[in-house]
Amino acid sequence: MTAFNADWSLMTPEIVLAVLALTVFTIDFTTGIRGKKPFIGTLSVISLLVTIVLVVIFNQTPGTIGSTFVVDPFAMLFKIVILLGVALVIVNSMSYLDKHDDMYQGEFYSLLLFAALGAMLMVSSADLITLFIGLEILSISSYCLAGFRKHQAKSTEAALKYVILGGTASAFILYGMSFMYGLTGSTSLLEIGAAMPTLYAQYPFLIMMSLFFMVAGLGFKISIVPFHMWAPDVYEGAPTPITGFLTAVSKVAGFAIMIRILAVGFGGIYDQWYFVIAVIAALTMIVGNTVALVQTNIKRLMAYSGIAQAGYLLVPLAALLNIHISLSMIVYYAFAYVFMTLGAFAIISYVTEKENDEEISSFAGLYRRSPFLAHSMTVFLVSMAGLPITAGFVGKVYIFLGVMTSQMVWLAVIMIVTSTISFFYYFGIIKQMYMRAPKEEDSMLKAPTSISLIVTISLIGTFGLALFANMLTNYMNGLNWIIL
């Protein structure tokens, strides 16, 4: 296949998003650098919604562009999750940017659009080179966004730590990829996967070295234990909407490529690595939930909560006995995770900005100041904890039952114990909202339209996914999950 006879229509959503991202950037610098530009944010959201429609239209039928780019149900659903998540982050950012004159709005929104583009390339990558290009587009955009408040020491520190450790993680990934290329002479995941059983029989040490370096590098990107130490500092220093982006959208995209690499490239030696992933999942759930217990800063607490949630997302991958069931578990929980996390961060962003304080105590008496925000935050926290009638509960039950059928009872027990631990720190926030009096100088809170919109959409998603769980899971279980 050459560039002249390839079916480039498969990349229509990516091409259109790239053009729209450049358009947003161009409109920004032609209308002046500084100043409030709400139309830029609105245009960015419209760009993402248009791209979602194009994904649904052009990604319905599986297809490939050579051995480089693939369209399948896996890629389509993850692209929708990513685009929807970035759209919610931009809506959350609108009111945040209006309060900070030191942040250039057009550049901020353009970087988010390019980050979404990189994530889309990642989830459709069928080749190690394409995958790495998408990963770096996402990573470089994230480094810039983490340090966007360049006049604030914590933001600069976050960006510096992120870029140094992120570059190291990328080097680990490249080093692992080099082993695969050296052994197979190809960067195609399909060819690597086909040759894997034979290669492992001949070069077991080199194969496991490659796997180790790639898992370590990707583990950093999704902040799983023991590659998580950067997350609390970066999440605390980054602008709050970007903390939500890193916690939810970036993490989901990282999981997508980890699944591609492990299930396709190393799927032929599943028996050699599944237990390692199970142990990492267990450690991630344990460390994330236990360390979160002692946090007093809300963004650091949510960072450790995100680490714990990464452990829950890893569990189906460790119990990969039926590819259809495991992937449907991961995709369902990814949708739930994005809704409940970004809904919570919208409220966190608004409350901490109003109080000029990121401590959990800033939520004291929120129920008296804004019942809507307090009730909504309770729903999101309850969903993260995995209590009934929420998407988080259904997702965890779905994963738990799948693990039990794979006879990994010890992992299921750890899921239950760590979920129980999470109740304590989630309910610590709820306690502040309902059982602590607000400060005397605190007034009633009226959330701006953008915050109310994102909270409402997240509530609909959190309850809707739970209400229609059977229909959605039946649909996903019936998909022809062609990973390549």
The token duo for 373 is: 């925000």
Report which residue type is found at 197.
P
Residue 484 has pLDDT above 70, yes or no: no
DSSP 362: G
Taking CA 85 as the corner, what is the angle to CA 361 and CA 262, rounded to the nearest 5 degrees? 110
Cα–Cα dist 478/470, whole Å: 12
pLDDT of residue 354: 84
- Whether 161 and 246 have beta carbons less than 8 Å apart is answered as no
Residues in the chain: 484
- Whether 173 and 254 have beta carbons less than 8 Å apart is answered as no
Confidence at 442, pLDDT banded by 50, 70, 90: low
Lowest mean pLDDT across 28-42, 169-183, 332-346, 454-468 = 28-42
Confidence at 372, pLDDT banded by 50, 70, 90: very high
Q: What is the percentage of the chain residues whose pLDDT exceeds 90?
A: 42
Cα–Cα dist 298/358, whole Å: 6
For residue 357, what is the enclosing H or E element?
none
Q: Which residues, listed in sequence order, are joined to residue 359 by a DSSP beta bridge?
A: 297
pLDDT of residue 5: 63
Residue located via tokens 């998603």: 461
Q: Reduce the DSSP state of residue 449 to 3 states and report it.
A: helix
Q: What is the percentage of the chain residues whose pLDDT exceeds 70?
A: 93
- Say if strands 69-71 and 63-65 run parallel, antiparallel, or are unpaired: antiparallel
51 by Cβ neighbours in 10 Å (0-12 / 13-18 / 19+) ranks as: buried
pLDDT of residue 481: 63
Residue 102 has pLDDT above 70, yes or no: no
Q: What does the pLDDT look like over 66-101, one tens digit per residue?
A: 778 888 888 899 999 999 999 999 998 888 877 766
Say what the pTM is: 0.92
Report which residue type is found at 192.
I
- What is the rounded average pLDDT for all residues in the chain? 87
Residue 119 has pLDDT above 90, yes or no: yes
Cα–Cα dist 14/263, whole Å: 24
pLDDT of residue 404: 82
Q: What does the pLDDT look like over 380-439, one tens digit per residue?
A: 999 999 888 899 999 998 888 888 887 788 998 999 999 999 999 999 999 999 988 877
Cα–Cα dist 458/396, whole Å: 18
Q: What does the pLDDT look like over 214-270, one tens digit per residue?
A: 999 999 988 998 888 888 889 888 888 899 899 888 899 988 888 888 888 888 888
Q: Which of 2-6's residues contact partners 24+ apart within 8 Å by CB, and which partners?
A: 6/65, 6/66
Cβ density class 384-402: b for 16+ within 10 Å, e for less: bbbbeebbbbbbbebbbeb
Confidence at 207, pLDDT banded by 50, 70, 90: very high
Average pLDDT over residues 147-173: 86
